[in-house]
Structure 1
């Protein structure tokens, strides 16, 4: 499935989905995000404790946020693909970040976790047929499909990789 196969793009998630090229195939996009992370891993090591402002996350915390969000969005896609009738709740990313203690972990450990989560996300989305990808459920009070969650996972990671490049890796 390609991004152009999305029947609608829900508000809030549109900012992430917009970062994904229209011709991008879902599985290829998921695999490409891992490649991007590999290309910046050395910079992550060099800047792992840096905050560009005192109230902003470190690269370790940002990476943990990407991991946590991918897990949550993949779970939501699974629920909707299986026709979960209940609305799925949102989450407070700042509470998750505060309680993950990512700064106590090594970048290598976080990169390993990212790879494992991504390696789990890819076959999950490969297992969905076209009908499952287009099913619609309610998550965080928004109507959304598993396909939209897949492209959100790609765009969300890309959004934060861009932030790392623009605000963390260019420090003076």
Structure 2
């Protein structure tokens, strides 16, 4: 199924879904995996623990956040696809980030884990029937979203964060270079 088959665009998550192409979910998930496999690791590593503003995450924190988000949504999509009608628990991304200790890990380690988690996400979606893809559930705030919509949310979420890294973090590399000159 393609993105255009999403009958109701979920509030908040639409910002991520809209960053994906109107291809089949399997194609979009595969493209997102290729984007991970082609991540400019050297640039991400060069950022170290730099942040562009106080209170923002490091590059490692961002990768860990993507891992955590994907795992949380894997559970939600499994629950929705199986007809679970209970409201999902909230996901406090800052709480998770503050307790993950991502900066003790390497970029390579985080990226390897994220690629593994993405492959699992792809396998999960491959297991869903068309009927399961169209099932919906409730987020913690009562908003409703479908299993299909979340197939596009994760790749869009990745692009959202990669865009932030390109726009706000990579310019720091020039500043760091100038400081060391």
TM-score between the two structures when normalised by the length of structure 1: 0.95
Q: Quote the residue 2:144 is aligned against.
A: 143
**Helix, strand or coil at the partner of 1:53:** coil
- Asked if structure 1 preserves the Cα contact closer than 8 Å seen for 2:52 and 2:168, the reply is yes
TM-score between the two structures when normalised by the length of structure 2: 0.91
Q: Quote the residue 1:32 is aligned against.
A: 31
Q: Quote the residue 2:178 is aligned against.
A: none
CA displacement at 1:53 relative to structure 2: 1.0
After the TM superposition, list the runs of 4 or more consecutive aligned residues in structure 1 that deviate by more than 4 angstroms: none
**Rounded Cα–Cα distance in structure 1 between residues aligned with 2:43 and 2:126:** 31
In the TM superposition, 1:1-172 aligns within 5 A as 1-21=1-21, 23-37=22-36, 38-140=38-140, 141-171=142-172, 172=175
CA displacement at 1:40 relative to structure 2: 2.2
**Rounded Cα–Cα distance in structure 2 between residues aligned with 1:46 and 1:33:** 23
Instruction: Name structure 2 gaps, 5 residues minimum.
Output: 176-181
The number of residue pairs the alignment matches comes to 171
**Rounded Cα–Cα distance in structure 1 between residues aligned with 2:40 and 2:9:** 29
**Helix, strand or coil at the partner of 1:137:** strand
**Rounded Cα–Cα distance in structure 2 between residues aligned with 1:36 and 1:11:** 26
Instruction: Name structure 1 gaps, 5 residues minimum.
Output: none
